[in-house]
Amino acid sequence: QVQLVESGGGSVQAGGSLRLSCAFVGVPDRRPYYMAWFRQRPGREREEVAIRARDGTTDVTDSVKGRFTISTDNAENTLSLQMDSLEPEDTAMYYCAASWELSNPRLPQSYSSWGQGTQVIVSS
């Protein structure tokens, strides 16, 4: 069983940067098809922020394009989310997730492993 352990959240002023990390603890039987960051803003449903597929391709949602970057280390033991030019609308609980299914990677229900979440607060 793989556990996902997040770190790096915090409070920052608008325009600032944060880097979130997600450590994959344990050895999976096989590499996940997708690794992703989701967020849940107050009063809203959990939404996809950035996805990294097994083949290395990445995608970020339009609202963070050009500001957020998803990456892993060479061993794929740590998933990161570099967040620059943060805006108050980015305030949310951020979750990393992994999926071993070939289903829609933009949907939270496609992911079977989740981190505990890390809070990001951006003040204006």
Q: Do 38 and 59 contact (CB within 8 A), yes or no? A: no
Closest CA to 35 of 21, 45, 46, 16: 21
In this prediction, residue 60 carries a pLDDT of 97
Give one DSSP letter per residue of 17-49, joined into a string: -EEEEEEEES--SS--SEEEEEEE-TTS--EEE
Query: 74: pLDDT confidence band, cut at 50, 70 and 90?
Result: confident
Kindly state the percentage of the chain with pLDDT values over 70. Answer: 99
pLDDT for 5-59, tens place per residue?
999 999 999 999 999 999 999 877 788 999 999 999 999 999 999 999 999 999 9
3-state secondary structure at position 111? coil
pLDDT surpasses 90 at 88: yes
Measured CA to CA, the distance from residue 2 to residue 88 in angstroms comes to 33
